[in-house]
Amino acid sequence: MSEAQRRAAVLGASEEGGTGWCIAETLAAQGCHVTVGARRIEGLTKLASQISGMPAQCDATVESEVEAFVATAAGEGQLDCAVLVAGAGIRGTINAMPAEDFEHCMKLNFHAAVHFLRHAARRMKEDGAIVLMSSIAATNPWQGYFAYGAAKAALQTLVKYAAIEFADRRIRVNAVCPGPISTPAARYLVDHPRAGAVVAHEVPLGRVAGPQDVADAVAWLCTAPGWITGETIHTDGGMSLRRPPDIDAIAAAFAAQD
């Protein structure tokens, strides 16, 4: 790593072909030295070798591990940008979700963002950028995802508070808000010949996002716009202008015989 290289941290990047993986690749292609983190080290090692970056194992729900991850990424210097991708759409209704599932959902999708913001900002240079990952479930209620949607709505409010708190150091804090993304974990749905069509029908631009669509927006917020902060940018092809896909229609699409 040269002294002139920008330092970036991406937490939640162990799934090959996933959104975090693609964000790390995109930032590396733009000249950043990228430290990648996740709970599983295997995928991280492969990704880091491909982008000449550094792997660091980290559970985003454990603040001490987040602090150590950010310190590793900053090294002897300071971070230029930091991206939190870790999260999961945990399902359940208000009436029936077990307390432990609710608590885990909030820890992973909201508390982790607080940990990440706190420690990334402490290790970031002036004029740096922090980007968090929200979800369309925060703005367009998606049946069965109340905890996930509520956590991501809280995250979007957190972005506004953080943008004000860190403005004196000119650290910009923003979020991207995707709809469904065609990642390896979601392809059972979005690439299904019938169920995927139900999902894509609610996207005005006519298709579900790929990881690169989201990565391009994240990289743009990390590197280019010096006067954008406190914003949540929808990267959903316009899905937020319509309704979420109908879960009964999706179930029927899976159940239909070929």
Determine the 3-state secondary structure of 125 from DSSP.
strand
Sequence-separated (6 or more) residues with CB below 8 Å from residue 29:
none
Please report, rounded to a whole number, the percentage of residues in the chain having pLDDT higher than 70: 98
For the chain, what are the domain ranges? 6-185+209-241
Q: pLDDT tens digit string along 36-76? A: 999 999 889 999 999 999 999 999 999 999 999 999 999 99
Nearest of 223, 220, 217, 213 to residue 183 by alpha carbon = 213
Checking if the pLDDT of 3 tops 60, the result is no
Work out the average pLDDT over 140-169: 96
**Which range (18-32, 35-49, 187-201) has the least confidence?**
187-201
Can you give the pTM of this predicted structure?
0.94
Question: Residue 248 carries which side chain, given as an amino acid letter?
Answer: D
Give dist(CA 56, CA 45) in Å, integer.
9
The per-residue pLDDT for 196 is 83
Q: How many CB atoms lie within 10 A of CB 71?
A: 15
H/E stretch holding 81 reads strand 79-84
Give dist(CA 22, CA 169) in Å, integer.
29
Q: Determine which one of 145, 148, 161, 188 is catalytic.
A: 148
Q: Which two tokens stand for residue 38?
A: 């996740």
Q: Which two tokens stand for residue 49?
A: 């070798």
The per-residue pLDDT for 17 is 93
Question: Residue 70 carries which side chain, given as an amino acid letter?
Answer: V
The per-residue pLDDT for 51 is 98
Q: pLDDT tens digit string along 200-257? A: 888 999 998 999 999 999 999 998 878 999 999 999 999 999 888 888 888 888 888 6
Residue spans of alpha helices (H) in 89-181: 99-106, 112-122, 146-165
Sequence-separated (6 or more) residues with CB below 8 Å from residue 123:
70, 71, 73, 74, 78, 79
Q: 6-185+209-241: which CATH topology?
A: Rossmann fold (3.40.50)
Checking if the pLDDT of 19 tops 90, the result is yes
- Tell me if residue 188 is catalytic: no
Checking if the pLDDT of 2 tops 90, the result is no
pLDDT tier, 258 (very low <50, low <70, confident <90, very high otherwise): low
Checking if the pLDDT of 13 tops 80, the result is yes
The per-residue pLDDT for 221 is 97
Report the mean per-residue pLDDT for the chain: 93
